[in-house]
Amino acid sequence: MISVDVENRSGTDVDESGAVELAGRVLRAEGIDEGELGIAFVGEDEMRGLKRDHLGIDEATDVLSFPIDGREEVPAGVPRALGDVVLCPQVVGEEWRWPLTHGLLHLLGYDHGDEMEAREQELLA
């Protein structure tokens, strides 16, 4: 089972249940049936701080991913900690599905490029 913890610190209404549903669908399509995932919706200031602290770029962005286990083997009995995807509704706007999918694929080891873009399009079709 995939366990998803959603936190909304953005000050904006977001479709939390839709995010959980999409995350489960993307992860299952990628062969991940068990694991723990965090999704956080944050405001622009928090997102700017995260990007500055982790990537050295002082600007807000739509999505950041913080992978933990990804597709790596985990010991028997230890739950897979996929990591966290952080979204900024003020940057994303109404269309949060692509950034969430993008962030999830980064958790699973995808890098920017044609393969990742093709997979995003396939998953969102």
Confidence of residue 25 (pLDDT cuts 50, 70, 90): very high
Domains of the chain: 2-124 (3.40.390.30)
Specify the pLDDT at position 72. Answer: 84
Listed in sequence order, the DSSP H helices in 14-113 are: 16-29, 44-55, 89-92, 97-107
Amino acid letter, 64 = L
pLDDT digits (tens, 9 = 90+) for 93-123: 888 999 999 999 999 999 999 999 999 999 9
Q: What is the DSSP letter of 73?
A: -
Specify the pLDDT at position 91. Answer: 95
pLDDT digits (tens, 9 = 90+) for 28-65: 999 998 899 999 999 999 999 999 999 999 999 999 99
Residue 37 · residue 3 · CB < 8 Å: yes
